[in-house]
Amino acid sequence: MTSKDVYDGLCEEICRHDKLYYVDHKPEISDQEYDALFKKVEALEAEHSEWVTPISPTQRVGEMLSSGFKTVDHALPMLSLANTYSKEEIEEFITRVVKLAGHDDVVYSVELKMDGIAVSLRYENGFFVRALTRGDGKRGDDITNNARTIRSIPLQLYGESIPEVLEVRGEVYMPRKDFEALNAERAEAEEDMWANPRNAAAGSLKLIDPKQTAKRPLEIALYSIAEMTPQAPQSQHGSHVFLNSLGLPTLLHIAKCHSVDEIWEYASKIEALRPSLPFDIDGIVIKVDSISEQRRLGYTGKNPRWAVAYKFAAEQATTRIRDITVQVGRTGTLTPVAELEPTLLAGSTIARATLHNEEEVARKDIRIGDSVIIEKGGDVIPKVVRVLPEKRPADSQVWTMPATCPACGTPVQRIEGEVAVRCPNIQSCPTQLLRRLTHFVSKHAMNIDTLGEKILVQLIDKGFVKSAADLFVLTPEQLYQLEGFKDRAVSNMLKSLDAARNIELSRFLFALGIRYVGTGTAELLAQRAGTIDGLTKLSYEDLIAIDGIGDKVAVAVTEFLGDPRQQQEIQRLLDAGVVPQELETQSFSGHPFEGKTFVLTGTLTQFTRTDAAKQIKQRGGKVTG
């Protein structure tokens, strides 16, 4: 066997495992084993770049993929579904279908209504060639390069009967647990959080840099064939089976029904299942199963007559507010939190809900002691929808934001034009310090898992640690004073601190806790700056010229780096032996736009203004207003 045969075999093996994992949901190997296969392919490609083809597994993110999105006409319009909200409305739909079909033994395909982003994928002679978003239904954005990074989208179809042309439609989504993890990181970085997995998926699909999209855990579930040569299967059920045989991921829990009662039973079963599904759904879809009957029924304006959605209500519960407490964030923001009588909602016990800010509390007139309706719509963090005034007890208490920080007693600060109230005691508010340190040691930052919250609290209480840099100068004598710390614990702690000293630049930047700088932004900064020193030299204009960085982040980074206290802290970290690894910078040198500044005026015909600005920035140019 030649090494080319080995290479081909490995590529095939990886494709097979992608299918087992994403399509069949039956992985045969561990993630580590998968990564090992991948590394072998990469190693062979490093020696034989001539073997690399667009469909080799390493090419999901090509080096020179263009970005900015072209708008492309859909082969067939992407329509939407009419909604129903009750059994009666489903019955009305069935009655209409039966009347139009002229017989009452219509078979229905019932499916999950995925709460994601609709896309259309095109395959020609078995190769993935294009992905479009729904757009306005007639024309969508060409997101091919981003879609290529989604591992559940095969770049090449499987099987014997590969169609010449196949255009399939489905929904791109972010699994709930991945969404929660990413959102927790964003919260930690005080970046804007996504409201729900759908927003996260939408944002991820529209990133300009496919390399960034590749890091977002997106998946796809397909539910229909829009175009196919030769002829497509003649039923919705047949379509699912056929798409699956080509290695394409389809919907889970598809079923056939023959009556309203059967459909209602299915809807109830799925609604009960909803909290335990790994992704968000917002209802079910009922479709006439026969494709020829679908064709006969046709469309009204923008909805098919042969299908309808049944939407579940947002999951709500009634509970009581026991207290309203105030949470102190890493940068001192004070957030009111409702402490609730624990109640079951959407599969989990809810004991707290964020009230966002004092304006929100006043607007909804939320008082301590009130009975309230809480809801978990698409959103992960439950919210208080409204108060039940008829249940308000006589002794309910109006809440106001305390005048001093609950953690350190410093008078709070209100910043003009902002709703947020802050504790200005950055230096010595113990809770701010604890939040900063927790962030600093967290998994995607310095990743020092020996420093749990309990230990950090003790280190702060004993006055050993006043900033992150102090962690690296802790002495054994100090560590022996911590609860339960004997020889082993002390030596483990010192070892793990030592190991943490050598750190990727992007992680170090994330760990610093600059406002709005999450892992993704930290990486962009690291790529551009190369070193800590390089970063401190970047001006606001340099920062804003980085694709993916906007005004808010550029201002926050400039302010942070210009603050003498932060400069001193960075220096102390470096002096304590922390070594952020240098990176090769992504320089724009040699590019025609380098050093040039552009002003966009008038009407642009080929691009939107935002797209044009992005394209210029990517080529090293600057854009000003």
363, 350 contact by CB (below 8 A): no
CB of 254: closest distance to ligand IVH in angstroms?
Answer: 8
Pairing state between β 367-368 and 579-581 = unpaired
Cβ nearer to ligand IVH, comparing 80 with 318: 80
| DSSP helix/strand/coil, 239 | helix
Cβ nearer to ligand IVH, comparing 285 with 374: 285
Residues 6+ apart with CB under 8 A from 590: none
Question: Considering only CA atoms, which of 20, 28, 15 is closest in space to residue 156?
Answer: 15
Phi, psi of 127 (to 5 degrees): -105, 140
CB of 152: closest distance to ligand IVH in angstroms?
Answer: 16
CB of 443: closest distance to ligand IVH in angstroms?
Answer: 33
Cβ nearer to ligand IVH, comparing 188 with 280: 280
Cβ nearer to ligand IVH, comparing 198 with 435: 198
Cβ nearer to ligand IVH, comparing 81 with 468: 81
Residue 27: cis peptide before it, omega within 30 degrees of 0: no
CB of 618: closest distance to ligand IVH in angstroms?
Answer: 30
Distance CA 466, CA 28 (A): 49
Tell me which residue has its CB nearest to ligand IVH. 118
User: Which spans of this chain sit near ligand IVH (rule: CB under 6 A)?
Assistant: 79-81, 111, 113-114, 118, 171, 223-224, 251, 285, 304, 307, 309
Phi, psi of 246 (to 5 degrees): -90, 0
Distance CA 533, CA 570 (A): 10
CB of 108: closest distance to ligand IVH in angstroms?
Answer: 13
What DSSP assignment string belongs to 253-287? S-EEE-SHHHHHHHHHHHHHHGGGSSS-EEEEEEE
538, 546 contact by CB (below 8 A): no
Cβ nearer to ligand IVH, comparing 274 with 352: 274
The per-residue b/e assignment along 12-28, b for 16 or more CB within 10 angstroms, e otherwise, is ebbbebbbebbbeeeee
405, 423 contact by CB (below 8 A): yes
Tracing tokens 């990486």 back to the chain, one arrives at: 523
391, 362 contact by CB (below 8 A): no
Instruction: Point out the catalytic residue in the list 19, 26, 113, 177.
Output: 113
Q: Is 113 a catalytic residue?
A: yes
CB of 223: closest distance to ligand IVH in angstroms?
Answer: 4
| DSSP helix/strand/coil, 315 | strand
* 3-state secondary structure labels for all residues of 359-384: HHHHHCCCEECCEEEEEECCCCCCEE
What DSSP assignment string belongs to 301-337? TTEETTEEEEEPPPEEEEEEEEEEEEEE-TT-EEEEE
Instruction: Specify the amino acid at residue 257.
Output: C
Tell me the torsion sign for CA atoms 480, 486, 489, 491.
positive
Cβ nearer to ligand IVH, comparing 115 with 358: 115
Cβ nearer to ligand IVH, comparing 83 with 335: 83
**What amino acid positions are annotated as catalytic residues?**
113
